[in-house]
Structure 1
Amino acid sequence: MTANRRTFIKKSVALSAYSIIVTSGLLSLSEAKANLLPDTPSTHSLQQTLKRLFKDQEIIASDKIDIQLPKIAVNGAAVSITVTSTLKDVESIAILVEKNPTPLAAKFELSPDLDPFVSTHLKIAESSAVLVIVETSEGFYSAGEKVIVTMGGC
């Protein structure tokens, strides 16, 4: 009983001190905020988004990118996607959904020490193409899949 009470008191004091420090402005929570791309398109078309993100770089279709995505999604609010690649020196993987209000769904910056593998859930507004762009030290490569959504998610 004594140990539980001591643990409770320690945690209460720590939480109170942390709350006071944060609200007084002595500690900034900026490190915990997500980094948005500086020119993140809000309601642009897929082509405009590609132009802004990749600056008219040539994007080559590749069969070395594997996309695991359901062909038919019952609920567009949570569509799981897994992307793997056998391309060498992968630096980043971007996932775009053609008909979403914001086409850029996710962009992952990868360490060269990691295998090129990402998995996440997407919100998809309506039936559309999902495009994956893989950036390597040699250039940009893409692959895509079509998803039919029966109930929209955005």
Structure 2
Amino acid sequence: MTPNLKEIPTMQTRRDMLARSATVAGLMAAAGLLPTPALANWNTAAFDAKNIADLMKALGAGAPVESKDVTVSGPDIAENGSVVPVGAATALPGVKRVLILIEKNPSVLAALFDVTDAVEANFSTRVKMGQSSNVYAVAIMGDGKVLFAQKEVKVTLGGCGG
């Protein structure tokens, strides 16, 4: 007995599958179900600032005031300036931004974190330091206050070709 060819299911070809996938992707996009890419908000003037006063002006913030409620972490002595672990933290409510600044770097702003009330304002990263310098943790509050803490980090081998 020979099988009836109409009863045998045909295999889906690659072309059919791509066509169906494109149709499904088009429907998802039309319904707004596809993820959108994250775009960084890049403040060129802030990252080009050479000192803290210029940085605060570029960010539209006031003069920073030292506070015990902001903490900065980092080693006392960094053996290699190309990878220095630093951190900034505060438990204060109403923080809008947390900054990590390296005073003697060509660009004083090393990191900028936008914060909401749903996020704990505690950040760590690694920065490049060309020489020994003060490291600042700065918290910009929702009411416009700017608070900071500082720590001196000594670098034995510079991170900028030293």
- Superposition TM-score, scaled by structure 2 size: 0.68
Unpaired segments ≥5 residues, structure 1: 1-9, 15-30
**1:3-152 equivalence runs, <5 A:** 31=37, 34-42=40-48, 44-55=50-61, 57-138=62-143, 139-152=145-158
Q: Larger deviation: 80-89 or 104-113?
A: 80-89
Tell which structure's C-alpha radius of gyration is larger.
2
Structure 2 unaligned regions, length at least 5: 1-13, 19-36
CA distance in 2, matches of 1:134, 1:62: 10
User: CA-atom RMSD, angstroms?
Assistant: 2.3
Number of residue pairs aligned between Structure 1 and Structure 2: 126
| Cα separation, partners in 2 of 1:58 and 1:46, compared to 1, 3 Å | closer
Percentage of pairs with the same residue: 30
| CA spacing shift, 1:43–1:60, aligned 2, 3 Å | closer
Alignment-mate amino acid for residue 124 of structure 1: M
User: Any conservation in 1 of the 2:79–2:155 contact (CA below 8 Å)?
Assistant: yes
